[in-house]
Amino acid sequence: MSIDSIIEDLRSRIESNQPISPGEWLDRASELNVLLMNLEDELISSEMAVNVSMATLMTGGATAAHAKTMTKGMDEYRKFLILKAKKEHVIEFVRLAKKRVELAHWDHA
């Protein structure tokens, strides 16, 4: 089980209009919340790699502005941005799942 597999499964079910119960929403949100810890570790490692690249460029004589610009063109920076966006998607999904569960509660009240 991974963040990508959970999101992809839900995306395909939503696109094909398959119903998802409030309990399932909550289960998936809980799973994503646990997996978010691993994603945060990966994000920190990625950010550190970007910082090392920038420091290396500056040690080699590049100005801070030039090092920052050069770093933004590197694959390490791209990976960092992808992980950062994924984290935001997971957080938003968990928020929406909680709202979906709350709505179901009010539907049956």
Give the model's pLDDT for residue 106: 59
pLDDT in tens, 21-61: 888 999 999 999 999 999 999 999 999 999 999 999 999 99
User: What percentage of the chain exceeds 90 in pLDDT?
Assistant: 77
* Three-state SS letters, 54-109: HHHHHHCCCCHHHHHHHHCCCHHHHHHHHHHHHHHHHHHHHHHHHHHHHHHHHHCC
Structural domains of the chain, count: 1
Domain hosting 102: range is 3-107
